[in-house]
Amino acid sequence: MAIHCDVAVLGGGTGGYIAAIRAAQAGKQVVIIEQDKLGGTCLHRGCIPSKALLRSAELYAQMKNSEDYGIASSEVTLLYPKVQQRKQAIVDQLHKGVQALMRKNKIQVIEGRGRVIGPSIFSPKSGAVAVELNNDEMETVVPANLIIATGSRPRTLAGLQPDGVSVLSSDEALTLEELPASILIVGGGVIGVEWASLLQDFGVRVTLVEAADQLLPSEDGEISRELRKHLERRGITVMTGVKVLADTYETTKQGIQISVQNGEKNERLEADKILVSIGRQANVENIGLENTDIALTKEGYIRVNEHMQTMEPHIYAIGDCIGGLQLAHAASHEGLIAVGHMIGETSHTYAESQVPRCVYTRPEVASVGYTEQDAKKKGRNTKTAKVPFAAIGKALVQGEKEGFLKLVADADTDDLIGVQIIGAHATELIAQAALAQLLDATPWEIGQAVFAHPSLSEIFGEAALAIDGRALNL
Ligand code: FAD
């Protein structure tokens, strides 16, 4: 007997389970289908485990430098198995939390792999999802509305398939039982630079190779140069504009060897392991899209409109499988928009310019809205202000005076259109910039706010004043 429900969600990652909760709160009967573990990439292979490792790495680096704060410590020892245990305990705790949320909201969880076999119950094809249960039985779910939230997986380079030993993707890197002495990281996007920062803090010799001419290719050029400067100062070898020639890869007694094309010349690089972090690929295969009129973009993501509807109006898609900003908070927000549209509530809208983009390196990078370069490309007249953390008392107190905040405004309308930060706690500080973007605040209005002293937040107020030549501490 098929299971009939109001809403079925295919994929229980951050996007899927948040959408399921919202639909249940609206009184819908909800079924969520997950082939692996509720929480998806973010909880099990992404945000949470990587940040748990980063926290240990940062603490280890700080403890080794504690004399800077007047504290002499005896030898600091890294216990990597304990670092891994701590990470796993956090993941397990949050996983239990998501399971409890499903129970609390009376969401039926089906453990298995789902495949769409028709677009909707209103269509002649009789919309339904066939689920191959984890116990090998079959189940059919017939929803009035379906949300596809199947996420993404690491993109691979032909010739460099992850084997979990010498060639890793971020999935395998997270579960290493021992750290290598050296690593070559291919790809200087968010995942690549985070791994470079954390592994170097743990004492691994890191070479980071990026094909574009800057790290974090879609971020502000000045921010990217500043990040590179800090990573290099910490001992990471950074190569940009350099292409890894995957077909030259060889395993040797020492580890791996591979050639890279650096301008006109080829160089041979050696390391114990190689980590491929060249982006993510949408999970859109084998989920039955061919049984529907759902279209893909040319980049291979599910095409949706502003309400997250696919070409089949009763089927929505959200999260990494639709591309755009592949971030957990973007996925969950898209889930709220999809459910909002289904239930006739339109309070949630989605604008990429309001979504913070965070990079958990040391120092951290965070941004929201346009970079100066993007705004100019769009023909906007810009004015900017840049305030260094060194001008902020709390940053000196913390011993974290590296970096700066950059504020971008439209010179014609005076609207705030972007904020970029590199420095301590940038990923927390960006929240106030995102709120200002949402509320359409102008720098003048931000400058009227009272910022606690001493606090790192003062940098935001100071930049808002500085943009109109009214800085008080510069
Ligand atoms: P996913 O979380 O990928 O979930 C999809 C789920 O669908 C999976 O559980 C999968 O098993 C299931 N599924 C797929 N196909 C089927 C099927 N046919 N049947 C049943 N189930 C299926 N984002 C941030 O915002 N902050 C960060 O700090 C951050 N760090 C990251 C670090 C790393 C190393 C990585 C890899 C990613 C990171 N991300 C981060 C990105 C973030 O993890 C993703 O954007 C987010 O998980 C996307 O959520 P989603 O719901 O779209 O997909």
As a whole number of angstroms, the distance between CA 437 and CA 368 comes to 8
As a whole number of angstroms, the distance between CA 295 and CA 314 comes to 14
Residues 33 and 114: beta-carbon distance below 8 Å:
yes
Task: HSE, CB side, 13 Å, CA atoms: give it for residue 142.
Answer: 10
- Summarize pLDDT for 66-84 with one digit per residue, the tens: 999 999 988 899 999 999 9
pLDDT given for residue 73 in this prediction: 82
In this predicted structure, the answer to whether residue 431 has a pLDDT above a threshold of 50 is: yes
Report the separation in Å between the CA atom of 49 and the middle of ligand 1, taken as the mean of its atom positions. Answer: 12
pLDDT given for residue 349 in this prediction: 75
SS3 assignment, position 10: strand
Report the separation in Å between the CA atom of 320 and the middle of ligand 1, taken as the mean of its atom positions. Answer: 7
pLDDT given for residue 254 in this prediction: 83
Residue nearest ligand 1's atom 33 by CA: 46
Evaluate: CB of 340 within 6 angstroms of ligand 1. Answer: no
Average pLDDT for residues 398-404, to the nearest whole number? 96
Evaluate: CB of 151 within 6 angstroms of ligand 1. Answer: yes
Nearest atom within ligand 1 for CA of residue 16? 51
Residue nearest ligand 1's atom 28 by CA: 47
Residue nearest ligand 1's atom 45 by CA: 327
pLDDT given for residue 122 in this prediction: 46
Evaluate: CB of 427 within 6 angstroms of ligand 1. Answer: no
Evaluate: CB of 139 within 6 angstroms of ligand 1. Answer: no
As a whole number of angstroms, the distance between CA 188 and CA 180 comes to 19
Residue nearest ligand 1's atom 38 by CA: 46
Report the separation in Å between the CA atom of 279 and the middle of ligand 1, taken as the mean of its atom positions. Answer: 13
Q: What is the mean pLDDT of the chain?
A: 95
Evaluate: CB of 200 within 6 angstroms of ligand 1. Answer: no
Q: What is the DSSP string of 211-247?
A: SSSSSSTTS-HHHHHHHHHHHHHTT-EEEESEEEEEE
As a whole number of angstroms, the distance between CA 8 and CA 295 comes to 20
Evaluate: CB of 114 within 6 angstroms of ligand 1. Answer: yes
Work out the number of other CB atoms within 10 angstroms of the CB of residue 373.
15
Nearest atom within ligand 1 for CA of residue 287? 18
In this predicted structure, the answer to whether residue 322 has a pLDDT above a threshold of 60 is: yes
Evaluate: CB of 13 within 6 angstroms of ligand 1. Answer: yes
Report the separation in Å between the CA atom of 424 and the middle of ligand 1, taken as the mean of its atom positions. Answer: 27
- Summarize pLDDT for 96-131 with one digit per residue, the tens: 999 999 999 999 999 999 999 975 554 445 469 999
Residues 17 and 32: beta-carbon distance below 8 Å:
yes
Evaluate: CB of 287 within 6 angstroms of ligand 1. Answer: yes
Nearest to 263 by CA among 249, 243, 236: 243
Nearest to 184 by CA among 252, 230, 280: 252
Average pLDDT for residues 24-35, to the nearest whole number? 98
Compute CA distances 177 → 44, 50, 53, 66, 274, whole Å: 16, 14, 12, 27, 16
Residue nearest ligand 1's atom 37 by CA: 46
Tell me the Cα Rg of the chain.
Answer: 24
User: Which among 150, 361, 428 is the best mutation to test ligand 1's pocket, defined by most ligand atoms within 8 Å of the CB?
Assistant: 150
Evaluate: CB of 113 within 6 angstroms of ligand 1. Answer: yes
Residue type, 286: N
Report the separation in Å between the CA atom of 418 and the middle of ligand 1, taken as the mean of its atom positions. Answer: 27
Evaluate: CB of 150 within 6 angstroms of ligand 1. Answer: yes
- Summarize pLDDT for 200-227 with one digit per residue, the tens: 999 999 999 999 999 999 999 999 999 9
Evaluate: CB of 10 within 6 angstroms of ligand 1. Answer: yes
In this predicted structure, the answer to whether residue 185 has a pLDDT above a threshold of 60 is: yes
- Summarize pLDDT for 279-304 with one digit per residue, the tens: 999 999 999 999 999 999 999 999 99
Nearest to 315 by CA among 3, 20, 2, 7: 7
As a whole number of angstroms, the distance between CA 466 and CA 468 comes to 5
Evaluate: CB of 14 within 6 angstroms of ligand 1. Answer: yes
Task: HSE, CB side, 13 Å, CA atoms: give it for residue 227.
Answer: 34
How sure is the predictor about 434, in pLDDT bands with cuts at 50, 70 and 90?
very high
List 109's β-bridge partners, or say none.
32
Residue nearest ligand 1's atom 47 by CA: 42
- Summarize pLDDT for 130-168 with one digit per residue, the tens: 999 999 899 999 999 999 999 999 999 988 999 999 999
Pick the catalytic residue from 307, 314, 348, 453: 453
Report the separation in Å between the CA atom of 378 and the middle of ligand 1, taken as the mean of its atom positions. Answer: 31
User: Is 453 a catalytic site residue?
Assistant: yes
pLDDT given for residue 120 in this prediction: 52
Report the separation in Å between the CA atom of 258 and the middle of ligand 1, taken as the mean of its atom positions. Answer: 30
Q: What is the dihedral of CA 133, 136, 139, 141, to 10 degrees?
A: 30
